[in-house]
Amino acid sequence: MNMTSDYPKCAILYVDDEVKSLRNFERAFGSSFRILTAESAQEGLRVLLEHRDEIGILMTDERMPGERGVWLLEKARSVEPRILRILVTAYADMDVAISAVNDGSIYKYVTKPWDPPMLHTLLRRALDFYLVQRERDKLLGEKLAMLNNMMVADRVVSLGLLAAGMSHHIRNALVAVKTFLELTPLKLKEEGVDVEGSRHLDFWGHYWRNALAQIDKINDMLKDLWAAAERPTSEFADQVSLGEVLRSVLDRMEVKLREQEVTVELRVPGELPAMHVDRKKFERLFELLFEDELVFLPAGSRIAVSAEVQEGKAGEPEIRIEVRDNGPGLPPESLRTIFDPFSVRNNSPSEYGIRLMACFFIVHFHRGNIVAQSAEGRGTTFTLRLPVNPRGLPAGEESDLFLHKVQLNDEMWSKLLASS
């Protein structure tokens, strides 16, 4: 791996109260590395906080007015532990340097006056080590993210099949209950009970009407889930423009969006290729996605929808769609179960994840995938990847990856995270 080309991406911060020493350092190593400097520990901490994602090495003198170098190194370890810390010290402070090495505060120590060739070699090796470490952490993070997505997908498949398979039975039972509730006032009238004039009945009438409304709501959600879980029968015969579909959906939802004071910005290029879809399902996908956003976004929020063409896994073109909001975001535990139809979000037991479960199945049966990313205070982003023409592509993920998914479980995932 050639690390030299990555040197400009990482900076070396050198802290010393002697301006001459700072200049000599820049003159000696500025042509090989990106150098930042500071004249005190306090200023060094400010620079560190400002460039924490860019600094790979912090090198500081020990004896300075005010806070000493070891103080800055301890601060750096708490701010960004991956930064390699080097202490510059005189022979009189050797005990401080040895102690810092022993307790893990620093990577190396350098004695004054430093030797430029030797220090150049040390800095190069340290920066190489930092870059390797950063690349390792990046790969590990990507691996954990992939396994997390596999875990989520496994849960979605299991719960989705259960919910979709049972939905028509539940709906039949709800129809019977609803019919009973609707006939109750008529039966009371037949028996001579004054339905309108009884205060007692008016009290219970509130709960009666609320029960009917809840049954209708559950029926609608189950209907969406059942319809989404059905395999397309049209063989994706509809050719649609993504932009035209989104505009049509937003036109129908205009009143809801206005009432919720939520704006949607479309950043969809007009030159995107036509997509082969089941149009009814495809339009419902975005209706459900926007409806779910409206439930959890506060007034004044914004949703941005962007799209681009890219090459899919099978070499076929696909459309990558991002639906990004600026809402409050979700904590990690909620994000893991975001496609779970029985998860409760926003601390509201009346709001479940059935809409997003239906979205998952619509995307799944169009041979695509959908993932969610979120962080508290930073909004939520749904990323959809859909092939331009799903015909001939395998449904879902009928591959070894799917077998790995079904073998994963919560206990294995917890062990994996613990061992990382």
Residue 121 lies in a domain: no
Distance of CA 332 to the CA centre of its chain: 9
d(CA 12, CA 60): 10
Residues 311 and 362 in one domain: yes
Q: Which pLDDT value is given to residue 350?
A: 44
Residues 176 and 311 in one domain: yes
Residues 76 and 169 in one domain: no
Residue type, 334: S
Residues 198 and 55 in one domain: no
d(CA 97, CA 77): 16
In this structure, how many other beta carbons lie within 10 angstroms of the beta carbon of residue 269?
Answer: 11
Q: Which pLDDT value is given to residue 322?
A: 96
Confidence of residue 300 (pLDDT cuts 50, 70, 90): very high
Q: Which pLDDT value is given to residue 404?
A: 40
Residues 290 and 414 in one domain: yes
Query: What are the two backbone dihedrals, phi and then psi, of residue 374, each rounded to the nearest 5 degrees?
Result: -160, 160
Q: Which residues contact 185 (CB under 8 A, 6 or more apart)?
A: 195, 208
51-60, 321-330, 405-414: lowest mean pLDDT where?
405-414
Residues 385 and 248 in one domain: yes
Confidence of residue 357 (pLDDT cuts 50, 70, 90): confident
Q: Which residues contact 264 (CB under 8 A, 6 or more apart)?
A: 250, 257, 290, 302, 303, 304, 305
Q: Which pLDDT value is given to residue 87?
A: 86
Residues 334 and 375 in one domain: yes
Task: Match 């390797």 to its residue by tokens.
Answer: 132
Q: Which pLDDT value is given to residue 211?
A: 67
Residue 139 lies in a domain: no
d(CA 232, CA 277): 9
Q: Which pLDDT value is given to residue 387?
A: 93
What does the pLDDT look like over 194-250, one tens digit per residue?
555 555 555 556 656 666 666 666 666 666 555 555 555 557 889 999 999 999 999
Residues 238 and 376 in one domain: yes
Structure tokens at 43: 């200023």
Residues 356 and 272 in one domain: yes
The answer on pLDDT for 389 being more than 60 is: yes
d(CA 297, CA 221): 20
CATH number at residue 53: 3.40.50.2300
Mean pLDDT of all residues in 73-81 = 86
Total domains present in the chain: 2
Residue 138 lies in a domain: no
Q: At which of 73, 93, 114 does a domain end?
A: 114
Containing domain of residue 312, as a range?
145-419
Residues 183 and 225 in one domain: yes
Residue 19 lies in a domain: yes
Mean pLDDT of all residues in 350-367 = 74
Q: How far is CA 301 from CA 250, 272, 292, 359, in A?
A: 16, 27, 13, 22
d(CA 96, CA 163): 64
Residues 265 and 407 in one domain: yes
Residues 15 and 161 in one domain: no
Residue 78 lies in a domain: yes
Q: At which of 114, 130, 153 does a domain end?
A: 114
What does the pLDDT look like over 254-297, one tens digit per residue?
999 999 999 999 999 989 999 999 888 899 899 989 988 998 89
CATH number at residue 276: 3.30.565.10
The answer on pLDDT for 401 being more than 70 is: no
Residue 129 lies in a domain: no
Query: What are the two backbone dihedrals, phi and then psi, of residue 283, each rounded to the nearest 5 degrees?
Result: -65, -40
Structure tokens at 189: 């009238």
Percentage of residues in the chain having pLDDT higher than 70: 60
Q: How far is CA 397 from CA 84, 186, 187, in A?
A: 43, 53, 53
Mean pLDDT of the chain, nearest integer: 75
Q: At which of 65, 99, 114 does a domain end?
A: 114
Strand order across the beta sheet in which 11-15 lies: 34-38, 11-15, 55-61, 84-89, 108-111
What does the pLDDT look like over 4-15, one tens digit per residue?
556 777 899 999
What does the pLDDT look like over 110-120, one tens digit per residue?
888 888 899 99
pTM of the model: 0.48
Q: Which pLDDT value is given to residue 239?
A: 93
Distance of CA 19 to the CA centre of its chain: 45
The answer on pLDDT for 123 being more than 80 is: yes
In this structure, how many other beta carbons lie within 10 angstroms of the beta carbon of residue 167?
Answer: 22
Residue 141, burial from CB neighbour count under 10 angstroms (0-12, 13-18, 19+): exposed
Residue 125 lies in a domain: no
Q: Which pLDDT value is given to residue 349?
A: 43
Q: Which pLDDT value is given to residue 144?
A: 58
Question: DSSP secondary-structure letter at 394?
Answer: P
Instruction: Specify whether the CB–CB gap between 11 and 126 falls below 8 A.
Output: no
Instruction: Specify whether the CB–CB gap between 240 and 275 falls below 8 A.
Output: yes
Confidence of residue 101 (pLDDT cuts 50, 70, 90): low
**Which H helix or E strand runs over 168?**
helix 116-190
Q: Which pLDDT value is given to residue 410?
A: 42
The answer on pLDDT for 160 being more than 80 is: no
CA atoms in the 13 A half-sphere facing the CB of 103: 10
Query: What are the two backbone dihedrals, phi and then psi, of residue 98, each rounded to the nearest 5 degrees?
Result: -65, -40
Q: Which pLDDT value is given to residue 407?
A: 38
Residue 119 lies in a domain: no
